[in-house]
Every structure is written in structure tokens, then in C-alpha cells.
Amino acid sequence: MKIISVLDKGYVRLVDVMGSDLSVVNAARVSYAKESKELSERDIKLIKFLAREDHTSPFRHAFLQFEVYAPLMVARQWWKYVVGSDHTMDSWNESSRRYITEEPAFYVPRADEWRSAPENSKQGSGQPINHDDGYQFMLWLEDYINQGEELYKRALDYGICAEQARLFLPAYGMYVRWYWSTSLQGVCHFLSQRLEHDAQKEIQEYAKAVLELAKEQFPISLENLLK
């Protein structure tokens, strides 16, 4: 299935899908024992009605599975949606730095990607900073990551366990990989939070990729649930 690149090294891949807009319609019509085989105008009206009235249970009979490769700070924001929300139709399996499996990889914003603090808010970000200064911070970050990787390897080479050696890694920017499976409703709830302008910029990029992949599969449902 399709894959979309995000940030400097990340991506979102649609691994598998179950159902279509029709699954929503048929779950909603269970009392009438009728099953649609093709999406009619009447079916589209029903989806609009369900979305508008917040009758969300029929949207829980379709499922999507994604593979995500993203910096840990994005993974944490993603998790918080799963744990802190009341939407629990989510499965999650993630790589662990307690195993030594791949070389660590890190997210480094380019010179023009560093953002200033927002004017009137305690969270989020504002305009990009000056390019030359961004370049300087990029070099500092690269240098700091290199040092961390060297110390990490030194600890592993000495024989220190991986679960402690990783204390040397600047982990917020480190890429992790996970499978995320959730219902169509779960996807929409995630998107409604993470596409918001006050969400962290980096996770907005991932949310856009999820939206593009999901929309091809459930165009009517997504359009109406995200209104």
C-alpha cells in the first residue's frame, strides 16, 4: 500500500484496511436488516446524519493499520491521544531501544525549520527564526547528537546494558517505529486533535499524511467527521 514521507527521515505507511464507507452504513442499518452493496445518495445522507449528530458507533466497524516512523517526541504526543483520551480501540506495537537492533537515527530541523516561541500562547510555535541562526542551532544539534551517539557506543562497547546506555541519547529527536491499528473513529479523533493549529508542528505533518492515506479509503466518512 501507499507510503508518505514526513520530516527528514520519517514516513507513514498504510499497512492494511478493513471496510469502506459502506461498512458504516451497514452497521447503522442493523435494525432494518438491510445491507447496501453500493454507496447510494441515501447512504451518503445517512453518513452525514451520523457524523452531524455525533452517532459515532457505526464508525467503529472499519479499521486501519499504519506503520509510522517518527521522532520520539511525536510518538509521545501520539500516545497521549491514545492513553489520555477515552478512545481505546487502539493497538500499538513499538520498537524498543532496550534491544540493540538498528543504528539510532535523529530528527534535525534544517536551517529554515527552527521556529520561534508563539506570541500569546504557552504552547505551540510562531514564525521561523532567522536562517543564519537556524543554521547555527542545526550545527549545534548535530554536534550534540554526535557526541551522544559516541558516548552511547562507548557504553555499549564497554559492556553496559542497552537499557542504561541509552541515557546518553538525546531521545526526543530519535526515530522510533511502530504499528498503530485503530478504528475509523479512532483515526478521526486523532486527526481532529492533531491537525489543529496549536498541535506541535511536527505531529501536524504526520496527521496530514494519515489524513491523505485514510481519505482514499473512506472519503465520505472523513469529509463529514472532520467538519
Distance between terminal CA atoms of the chain?
27
Stretch that binds a copy of itself, among 1-9, 43-51, 146-154, 215-223 (CB under 8 A): 146-154
**Judged by CB under 8 A, which of 2, 94, 139, 219 binds a copy of itself?**
94
Stretch that binds a copy of itself, among 41-49, 182-190, 206-214, 216-224 (CB under 8 A): 182-190
Query: Do the Cβ atoms of 61 and 24 come closer than 8 Å?
Result: yes
Residue 5: CB minimum distance to a copy of itself, A: 16
Residue 33: CB minimum distance to a copy of itself, A: 6
Residue 42 makes contact with a copy of itself by CB under 8 A: no
**Pairwise CA distance, residues 39 & 220, whole Å:** 10
How many residues can be counted in the chain? 227
**Judged by CB under 8 A, which of 144, 196, 212, 216 binds a copy of itself?**
144
Query: Do the Cβ atoms of 24 and 221 come closer than 8 Å?
Result: yes
**Judged by CB under 8 A, which of 52, 93, 131, 196 binds a copy of itself?**
93
For CA atoms 67, 70, 75, 81, give the dihedral sign. negative
Helix (H, G, I), strand (E, B) or coil at 53: coil
**Judged by CB under 8 A, which of 9, 11, 92, 149 binds a copy of itself?**
92
